[in-house]
Amino acid sequence: MNLGKTVFAQLLKFLPIYEFRQCVQRYQGTYKVQTFSCWNQFLCMAFAQLSYRESLRDIEVCLRARQEKLYHMGIRSPISRSTLAYTNENRDWRIYADFAQVLIQEARSLYIHDSFGVELEQTAYALDSTLIDLCLSLFPWAQFRKRKGAVKLHTLLDLRGSIPTLIIITHGKIHDVNILDQLPLEAGSIYIMDRGYLDFGRLYTIHQSFAFFITRAKSNFGFQRLYSQPVDKTTGVQADQLVTLQGFYAQKDYPEKLRRIRYLDVQNNKRFVFLTNNFILPAITIAELYHCRWQIELFFKWIKQHLRIKAFYGTSENAVKTQIWIAISVYVSVAIVKKRLGIEHSLYTILQILSVSLFEKIDLYQLLTNFKYKLPTEEHSNQLNLFT
């Protein structure tokens, strides 16, 4: 048994504190700060995520109840609800966004060789967004509907490891397709998205960047078939065609050829039409890659169920973004711990264990491995699992 450090303090060993300080200096996070530093703020908010605290008062009561252990947990300043509220309101959220990117890069390097169901040498990304509903009277900056507020999490997910490589937080009125203008494009990578991102001008920008895209065609998609390639219909692929766009503006936006693949999902009796600028991969691989896009839907459902990003501790835009980015940092940090310690349990199981053990003085690896637990084997389980 570890008699020196709490479980929470052992988790901190996996965080690059030097890089965090660089993020703080980049945005002058120490300006006029006397006691409650950005690091203390991060630790308190991370504790709230790991222990499922409901409010700032909840955080204050729980931490003050274990006052004798706070110093050894890394929290060196007095905890008060008003101080937390003020820091969430005023400390630049970009500090925590940049630190999350540091953790994301580390996690991606750890999961780079993981399989996601398709044998592929290139990096494959899934792009999508999710809405978080807000009360418009409390969050007037989060415009969405006439009487409804919301923020959108536009996410680019690396399918290897389900690591979010890019997250852009906007109010609910921003259309998904506009995010393509802010996408950092990597030559050779594959970007998988649904029909909401079908804009031929922006897709042509991806093509000119020597990257690939896979999306679905709309029902009114106009095209002219140039020729068809032979297909094995037993795989579900019904057609593999080389096409050009019809219409003056469509041809102007995308003057090159496109590949059109028609696929039949026999199990669900659904037909899909895919568009891509990749002419090398087999048609069935294109269909399988689009099916893997479902991982980003699971990611959204998972973080909404298991992290505090649906109820917020503050009402300002800065407070909301701070909480979301710290939640993402916690998600990625637990993924790093899982990989570095070689833990076989899912992220959900790890988070549940940590939530009741943060103040315990026991070796972290022993805590996460020295018990017997089997995940439910039912096919229709309501529990979503990542990193199983």
Decide: 10 and 368 in contact? Cβ < 8 Å.
no
pLDDT band at 8 (very low <50, low <70, confident <90, very high): very high
Q: Which residues 6+ apart lie within 8 Å of 299 measured at CB?
A: 155, 157, 162, 164, 386
Over range 359-385, report the average pLDDT: 67
pLDDT band at 3 (very low <50, low <70, confident <90, very high): low
pLDDT band at 89 (very low <50, low <70, confident <90, very high): very high
What is the fold, at CATH topology level, of the domain defined by 195-280?
A: Ribosomal Protein S8; Chain: A, domain 1 (3.30.1370)
pLDDT recorded at residue 374: 57
**Residue-wise pLDDT tens digits, 263-293:** 998 888 899 999 999 999 999 999 999 999 9
pLDDT recorded at residue 347: 87
d(CA 332, CA 206): 28
d(CA 196, CA 340): 37
pLDDT band at 371 (very low <50, low <70, confident <90, very high): low
d(CA 385, CA 162): 11
For residue 106, count other CB atoms closer than 10 A to its CB: 21
Phi/psi for 137 (5° steps) reads -70, -30
**Residue-wise pLDDT tens digits, 174-194:** 999 999 999 999 999 999 999
Q: Which tokens sit at 6?
A: 């709490």
Over range 231-251, report the average pLDDT: 92
Residue type, 388: T
pLDDT band at 162 (very low <50, low <70, confident <90, very high): confident
**Secondary structure class of 261 (helix, strand, coil):** strand
The structure tokens 């052992």 sit at 10
pLDDT recorded at residue 205: 95
Residue 109 pLDDT more than 50?
yes
DSSP string, 65-124: HTHHHHGGGT--S---HHHHHHHHHHS-THHHHHHHHHHHHHHHHHSTT---SS--SS-E
d(CA 388, CA 378): 14
Decide: 141 and 159 in contact? Cβ < 8 Å.
no
Average pLDDT, the chain: 89
How many percent of the chain have pLDDT more than 90?
Answer: 66
The length of the chain is 388
Q: Which residue has the higher pLDDT, 300 or 35?
A: 300
The structure tokens 């906007």 sit at 170
pLDDT band at 93 (very low <50, low <70, confident <90, very high): very high
pLDDT recorded at residue 228: 92
Over range 305-330, report the average pLDDT: 93
**Secondary structure class of 238 (helix, strand, coil):** strand
Over range 303-307, report the average pLDDT: 89
pLDDT recorded at residue 104: 95
Domain boundaries of the chain, sorted by first residue:
195-280
Q: Which residues 6+ apart lie within 8 Å of 4 measured at CB?
A: 361
Decide: 318 and 179 in contact? Cβ < 8 Å.
no
Decide: 247 and 260 in contact? Cβ < 8 Å.
no
pLDDT recorded at residue 2: 43
Residue 388 pLDDT more than 60?
no
pLDDT band at 1 (very low <50, low <70, confident <90, very high): very low
- In DSSP terms, 214 is beta-bridged to 192, 276
pLDDT recorded at residue 277: 95
**Secondary structure class of 125 (helix, strand, coil):** strand
Residue 81 pLDDT more than 50?
yes
Closest CA to 292 of 381, 189, 191: 191
Over range 244-250, report the average pLDDT: 91
Q: Which tokens sit at 275?
A: 């568009």
pLDDT recorded at residue 134: 92
**Residue-wise pLDDT tens digits, 121-161:** 889 999 999 999 999 999 999 989 888 999 999 999 999 88
